[in-house]
Amino acid sequence: MLKALLKKQIAEIFQNILRSRKTGKTRTGAARIAAVIGFALILVGVLGGTFAFFAAGTISQLITVGAGWLYMIIFAGAAFIFGLFGSVFNTFSTLYQAKDNDLLLSMPIPSRVILTARLAAVYVMGLIYSSIVMIPAIIVYIVKARPGFGAAAGCFAFLIPLSLLILTFSCALGWVVAKLSAKLKNKSFFTVIIAVAFMALYYFLYFKAQGAIAALVQNGAVFASQIKESAYPVYAVGTAACGNPVSLLIVTAAVAAVLLLTCFIMSRGFIRTVTVSGGQTKKEYVKKELKTSSADGALFSKELKRFTSSPAYMLNAGTGTLFMIVAGVAVLIKGGELSASLVSQFGRGTVIAIASAALCFLVSTNFITAPSISLEGRSIWLPQSLPVSAWQVLRSKLAVHLAVTEIPALFCGICMWAVLRPSVAEGALLVTLPLVFGLFTAAFGLFVNLMRPNLNWISETAVIKQSLSAFLVMIADMILSIAFIVLWFILRLTSSDAVFYMLIWLVVFAACAGIFLALLKKKGPEVFRSL
């Protein structure tokens, strides 16, 4: 029973790898291996590579003073935060909002078995995210510290208690959110507030951590002896991470005990929590005057409502909006000081190119169109049967992406303009380039999702967070925005090249946006009708 549920749960996570969206059939051996390798390359190559780079720059000083365990603590901490960040948003929807909860609860399956299968899915996500940080760190440790075969194996074994600890925290947070959410009327709003608060904490820790890690590395010997004396459990975790078998056993046992306790508490109210319809009392409808709008207006409102009614959608595909508003305000408050020093060091043109790239990067974190076709799900018959053209439907999805992304991008761009004081040409490009890039990301995301939709999802997380289309679009957009500035430095351009360089990228982004918009308009309606 548990095996069947586990298979279903794992298949849900990896359905984009295991199943071809084009044919709907399970991939054959070679295609499946190719898809797995491609997915792993992106994860290990892009993200893992970045962490390996940081690890290589950190380890030497700590190894020299015999504080290899401190190095492992630092990266275990980073892996914990990264893993928790990656899986916590997933937990609530996977455990409590899955569409097949009613179906499974109606079957002769004990609730603890359903819970275990759901937890396995959360565990896998946490394990993947934490491994992206921890495995490169362990490899760097093994190469530099040469701990011996047994200890090296122990380092990898440490991933078990680490991932279980992430699972424990994810579950506890997911459970708290579910309990509070069950009592609230406006769940979407509440969930977003909680998640944004969590993200703010994450980024606060992330930025504070950089300084703390630098201080730790520089004064490794002092900190190591202090931690050993006053916080022995932390030292024990560090030695466990270095492969010490006794520490590893103790840490694993302790984490397992806490996890079991968490699961026990969760399982007690699981059925009640997943079946509760909300704390609100049923309110009788009072007739009100209805507002009318055009068909295009109605489609836009519907798309916007779809976006704002789903915390998972807003948090995963729309956080860039928040980042851009915060960045704009931060630039106005703190930007003057920073820009003066950067301009004197690099020149105004270079700083403007960097600012434009940074804004493009923030724009790239919004990928609202990328899951928008998939999110139609089983209600796809509605836009297909209503008297609107497929292009109108696609256009409404683009419009929501643009409304949510371009307005804050424009705000942030204007703030940058006000602080950086560029020439008219530089300023116009600083503001326009991210807007055109935003148009490209909207069209590209919609095109990719139209070609690779998943209309048969059980949890919307599957298409918002775990779908190949959302992942591909997000990574491709980010890489493009990073390439923009990396190329600037590779080509050793100077401030005077800024206008010409940005103009070229503007043309490139505009051309790409034009191509995808043309493809959507020409091929889109036919593909949409055939879904």
Partner 1 sequence: MLDISHLTKTYGTVKAVDDLTLHIAPGEIYGFIGHNGAGKTTTLKACTGILGFDGGDITICGTSIKKDPIACKKQIAYIPDNPDMYEFMTGIKFLNFIADIFGVSKKDREERIAKYADHFELTPDLGQIVSAYSHGMKQKLAIIAAWIHDPKLIIMDEPFVGLDPMAAHKLKEMMREVCDAGGAIFFSTHVLEVAEKLCDKVAIIKDGRLIRSGTMDEVKGDSSLEDVFLELEE
Determine which residue in the list 26, 186, 210, 309 makes contact with partner 1, applying CB under 8 A.
Answer: 309
Residue 306 is a binding residue for partner 1 (CB under 8 A): yes
Give the DSSP H/E element, type plus range, for residue 306: helix 295-308
| Least Cβ distance, residue 291 to partner 1 (angstroms) | 7
- What does R_g of the chain's alpha carbons equal in angstroms? 25
Output 230 or 277, the one with its CB closest to partner 1.
277
| Least Cβ distance, residue 188 to partner 1 (angstroms) | 9
Output 230 or 292, the one with its CB closest to partner 1.
292
Output 225 or 389, the one with its CB closest to partner 1.
389
Distance from the Cα of residue 375 to its chain's centroid? 18
End-to-end CA distance of the chain: 34
Determine which residue in the list 25, 106, 284, 492 makes contact with partner 1, applying CB under 8 A.
Answer: 284
How many other C-beta atoms are found inside a 10 Å radius of the C-beta of residue 124?
19
Output 26 or 379, the one with its CB closest to partner 1.
379
**Pattern 54-93, partner 1, x by CB under 8 A:** ----------------------------------------
Structure tokens at 447: 């095109």
Determine which residue in the list 294, 345, 424, 492 makes contact with partner 1, applying CB under 8 A.
Answer: 294
Output 187 or 401, the one with its CB closest to partner 1.
187
Cβ atoms of 274 and 91 within 8 Å: the answer is: no
Output 188 or 225, the one with its CB closest to partner 1.
188
Residue 293 is a binding residue for partner 1 (CB under 8 A): yes
Determine which residue in the list 230, 281, 345, 530 makes contact with partner 1, applying CB under 8 A.
Answer: 530
Output 304 or 493, the one with its CB closest to partner 1.
304
Residue 299 is a binding residue for partner 1 (CB under 8 A): yes
Residue 285 is a binding residue for partner 1 (CB under 8 A): yes
Q: Counting Cβ atoms within 10 Å, is residue 418 exposed (0-12), middle (13-18) or buried (19+)?
A: middle
Segment contacting partner 1 (CB under 8 A): 41-49, 75-83, 292-300, 506-514? 292-300
Determine which residue in the list 298, 407, 476, 510 makes contact with partner 1, applying CB under 8 A.
Answer: 298
How many other C-beta atoms are found inside a 10 Å radius of the C-beta of residue 475?
16
Residue 3 is a binding residue for partner 1 (CB under 8 A): no
Residue 290 is a binding residue for partner 1 (CB under 8 A): yes
Output 268 or 523, the one with its CB closest to partner 1.
523
- Cα dihedral 93, 99, 101, 102, rounded to 10, equals 150
**Which segments of 426-497 are extended strands (E)?**
none
Task: Round to whole Å and give the CA distance between 439 and 425.
Answer: 21
Q: Counting Cβ atoms within 10 Å, is residue 238 exposed (0-12), middle (13-18) or buried (19+)?
A: buried
Residue 103 is a binding residue for partner 1 (CB under 8 A): no
| Least Cβ distance, residue 371 to partner 1 (angstroms) | 14
Output 304 or 476, the one with its CB closest to partner 1.
304
Cβ atoms of 97 and 54 within 8 Å: the answer is: no
Determine which residue in the list 106, 230, 281, 292 makes contact with partner 1, applying CB under 8 A.
Answer: 292
Determine which residue in the list 295, 333, 338, 518 makes contact with partner 1, applying CB under 8 A.
Answer: 295
Output 267 or 301, the one with its CB closest to partner 1.
301
Residue 149 is a binding residue for partner 1 (CB under 8 A): no
Residue 302 is a binding residue for partner 1 (CB under 8 A): yes
Output 50 or 379, the one with its CB closest to partner 1.
379
Cβ atoms of 84 and 170 within 8 Å: the answer is: yes
**Pattern 379-418, partner 1, x by CB under 8 A:** x-xx-xxxxxx-----------------------------
3-state secondary structure labels for all residues of 16-74:
HHHECCCCCCECCHHHHHHHHHHHHHHHHHHHHHHHHHHHHHHHHHHHHCCCHHHHHHH
Structure tokens at 218: 């520089």
What is the greatest pairwise CA distance in the chain? 76
* Side-chain half-sphere exposure of 305, counting CA atoms within 13 A: 7
Determine which residue in the list 183, 208, 272, 378 makes contact with partner 1, applying CB under 8 A.
Answer: 378
Q: Closest by alpha carbon to 188, among 364, 334, 311?
A: 311
Q: Closest by alpha carbon to 88, among 202, 258, 209?
A: 202
Binding-site size for partner 1 (CB under 8 A) equals 36
Structure tokens at 52: 């390996």
| Least Cβ distance, residue 282 to partner 1 (angstroms) | 7
Determine which residue in the list 282, 345, 424, 490 makes contact with partner 1, applying CB under 8 A.
Answer: 282
Q: Closest by alpha carbon to 448, among 391, 396, 371, 395?
A: 371
Chain residues that interact with partner 1, rule: CB under 8 A: 277, 282-287, 289-295, 297-299, 301-302, 305-306, 309-310, 377-379, 381-382, 384-389, 529-530
